[in-house]
Chain A
């Protein structure tokens, strides 16, 4: 990216002023190296977002931002319904409520070692992963409606987990305002056999070791200590979310002229929040969020069953569950005034600081955990919401490292079997149904997550707490 077009606000914050159709500034977070490495398309796409009606404050890009469709991945933008603000299917993405849930095991790495291989095999056999995989739970129409309304709460009621899990999930595991009737027959059909499946691509279940602690107090409050083993599950709303995104993206693009919205690019398809279409999308999207929360809850249950067989003493409490592809109605202070806003985070994590009223009680003193995913061979990170107010970018932080090479480029550069063998030499067991998938997801295809985490920390988006290194990765 050409830095000469940007104003340097600090070493970690860069700004492009409003001009022409852009109603608000464009703000990018990251050190000079990360910004320079970002695709020019990130600035272009963030700039397009800045043109949308009712946008408030600024269009933001996180340190891991990269070229997406519509909004960049790593994009954050908030809209005010009272000011003609919009909701955008492209601003949420196809994988509605894709996110990360981390489970504490109470185990140390040495506890794992004697049975690590068999444990990895058992996880791989139990967690449905990859293209064409199906879950064992098939939902009829009534059960589907209840799942879409109830989210993880529904899953717990069905026996997939414990009531206390819900205290460690955003919105206590059930997003209000879901409208199952706004979810099409095709979306439901696509989900029918996909409950409790991991998916493919960058989705994973990873067994990780805490290898560094950056904030002793917060780590202790989160139940993390050096050498601890945790399990992180990265997946989303599966076929249901994909189909909702597909259908509404098209409908919003076609309806934009009737709504009087001049789209700078078709891919920014959106509808006024106050319109019938906007409300219908919000209802369907919230049902999609609940589907993702239920899915991660079922995967938690399956994981616990495997762990119970190998390590009966481990109970696997949930540390937290955060989504990074959402639009949520939240209250934020903008220019000294509290406003209800619809905050789009696409490949960006909510990062509420301590005392935020929407946080579970467990995190009232610390702020919420923020999970930054790595890629098989690269570290993941646990961060925490910022200490200072007002929070940046509507209390948002990054979600992962972001790709350095496209899937196509990665496929030319690596062979899946070689990636698996190389990682095994480093002590990391990879289990995947697809060697091609492993090649496309090779650790080298991703940016250095350490630099992204450091930039988020220094920019004040979230604070470093712990570093996690992979031990076992079940890859879709």
Chain B
């Protein structure tokens, strides 16, 4: 996972934010890569507690999009797809964005309903509140609403 870069005061963190029927996921970090990683962690926390996920297996994801916002959308939707078809949850992510391509890695384990107590399954990341931007304090923010 990305560590804070030198000179940055921003600790990477994941947040959920309120949305009527669904849920907003937000990643904040010193770099764009870190913000994407944290957005993915926020996606997991909409389903279960990321700290209770064993990092037993890894998958790789590659996305390509014309702009950052679509790249975030594709990244989150790729993870939602992998979670659905593999029936896994992920607790750790690594992202590297080069140009308009994203190389991602996600570590996790099969869903254990007793231990993970997964709540609503994510259906898809939406274009609502979709944003990838640099805040005034220099932190990168990557966010959108996820339909659950």
Contact = CB atoms under 8 A, between A and B. Distances in A.
Q: Do these two chains interact?
A: yes
Interface of A: 39, 41, 66-70, 73, 90, 93-95, 130-132, 134, 186, 189-190, 192, 199-202, 239, 242-243, 245-246, 249-250, 253-254, 266-267, 269, 402-403, 406-409, 433-437, 439-440
Interface string B127-139: 1101000000000
19 contacts: A41-B20, A68-B22, A73-B20, A90-B127, A94-B123, A130-B118, A131-B121, A132-B87, A132-B110, A134-B87, A186-B81, A242-B84, A245-B124, A246-B77, A253-B127, A267-B127, A406-B21, A436-B119, A437-B118
B47 interface: yes
B97 interface: no
Contacts of A409: 18
Contacts of B145: 69
Contacts of B40: none
Contacts of A436: 48, 117-119
Contacts of B94: none
Contacts of B119: 131, 200-201, 407, 434, 436-437, 439-440
B41 to A, nearest CB: 15
B113 A434 contact: yes
B111 A132 contact: yes
Interface residues of B, number: 39
A403 B21 CA distance: 6
B64 interface: no
Interface string B94-122: 00000000000000001101000111110
B111 A408 contact: no
A406 B124 contact: no
A199 B120 CA distance: 8
Interface string B63-79: 00010001001100100
B128 to A, nearest CB: 4
B120 to A, nearest CB: 4
Given A93-B147, A186-B81, A407-B148, A69 B117 contact: no
B127 A254 contact: no
Interface in B20-74: 20-23, 46-48, 66, 70, 73-74
Given A93-B147, A239-B84, A406-B18, 18 more contacts: A66-B20, A90-B127, A131-B118, A131-B119, A132-B113, A190-B81, A190-B84, A190-B85, A200-B148, A201-B120, A243-B124, A245-B147, A250-B77, A250-B127, A402-B21, A406-B21, A407-B119, A436-B119
A277 B48 CA distance: 36
A449 B9 CA distance: 47
Given A189-B85, A407-B120, A435-B117, A131 B127 contact: no
B16 interface: yes
Contacts of A407: 22-23, 46, 119-120, 148
Given A267-B126, A407-B23, A440 B118 contact: no
Contacts of B18: 406, 408-409
A130 B147 contact: no
A266 B130 contact: yes
A434 B117 contact: yes
B112 to A, nearest CB: 9
A196 to B, nearest CB: 16
A69 B73 contact: no
